[in-house]
Amino acid sequence: MPAVPAAQQRPADGGIRRRRAGRPSSAVLDKAGITAAALELVSRKGYDGLTMAALAKELDVAPSALYNHVTSKQDVLLLVEDHLMSLVDVSGFGTGTWEEAVRRWAWSYRDVFAEHTPLIPVIAVLPVTDAPQTLAMYETVSKGFLDAGFPPEQIIPAIVALESFIFGSAYDVTAPADIFDSGTMAESTPHFTAAVRDAAAGAGRGRPADTAFSLGLDALVSGLGVLRRANPME
């Protein structure tokens, strides 16, 4: 029984020395720690900087050690994705009106994933089964739609339609400001060029992406809202 537990051993050198091989006395890694380190890494270096090697270094561990806790890099992305879902604001459901709740949810959902667009392809194919936070969000939103009088069989399609708009809009946030600059070909695209100019002049306040998101969200909310109480009950 040594006086100093092995986990704390960092002798008189500068902390440069690596851990010796073999199972450590207390586990260094777990999923929560990996998730946190991945998020930290992403916020510091972006998704290009999120490599298994960099993640291992962040956790002061050999890259291969990660594979005792996750089966692949995709698995890490899944952990991050599920964590982010817990940041989406669903607090409107149950307190305010359906419209207000959906708007708050949609804006927050878009804002969260605008910072994490590389995860969007992951989500799209992700089975919800092993993503508890994601499941929790869907549960709250589903209940909100049901309570608002949506016909049960339309709830999922309505949520999916909103989500599709949200994911697409998240990409839009990251677009460069001059994305619609038609350059040398401006003469051959007069209507488009004029429309771009007018849009820039019209919506001076706020990001262009916000203008489009607001416009589309209004349309979706009012368009989907008419489905409510289409059933005789309540």
Partner DNA sequence: ACCACTAAATGAATGCCATTCATTTATAAG
Partner DNA sequence: CTTATAAATGAATGGCATTCATTTAGTGGT
Q: Please give the backbone phi and psi of residue 155, each rounded to the nearest 5 degrees, phi first.
A: -65, -50
Window 15-34: residues binding DNA (CB under 7 A)? 18-29
Least distance from C-beta 27 to a second copy, angstroms? Answer: 25
Among residues 33, 63, 136, 228, which is the contact residue for a second copy, using CB under 8 A? 136
Nearer to a second copy, 67 or 192 (CB): 192
- Distance, in Å, from the CA atom of 222 to the CA atom of 201, rounded to the nearest integer, reads 27
Q: Please give the backbone phi and psi of residue 156, each rounded to the nearest 5 degrees, phi first.
A: -65, -50
Least distance from C-beta 100 to a second copy, angstroms? Answer: 17
Q: Do residues 227 and 158 lie in contact, with contact meaning Cβ atoms separated by under 8 Å?
A: yes
Q: Which residues of 150-162 are buried (b: 16+ CB within 10 A; e: fewer)?
A: beeebbeebbeeb
When CB distances are held under 5 to 8 angstroms depending on the partner's kind, the choice from a second copy, DNA, none that residue 166 binds is a second copy
Nearer to DNA, 52 or 161 (CB): 52
Dihedral sign, Cα of residue 23, residue 28, residue 34, residue 39: negative
Among residues 97, 199, 229, 231, which is the contact residue for a second copy, using CB under 8 A? 199
Among residues 95, 139, 230, 231, which is the contact residue for a second copy, using CB under 8 A? 139
Residue ranges binding DNA (CB under 7 A): 6, 18-29, 50-54, 56, 60-65, 67-69, 71-74
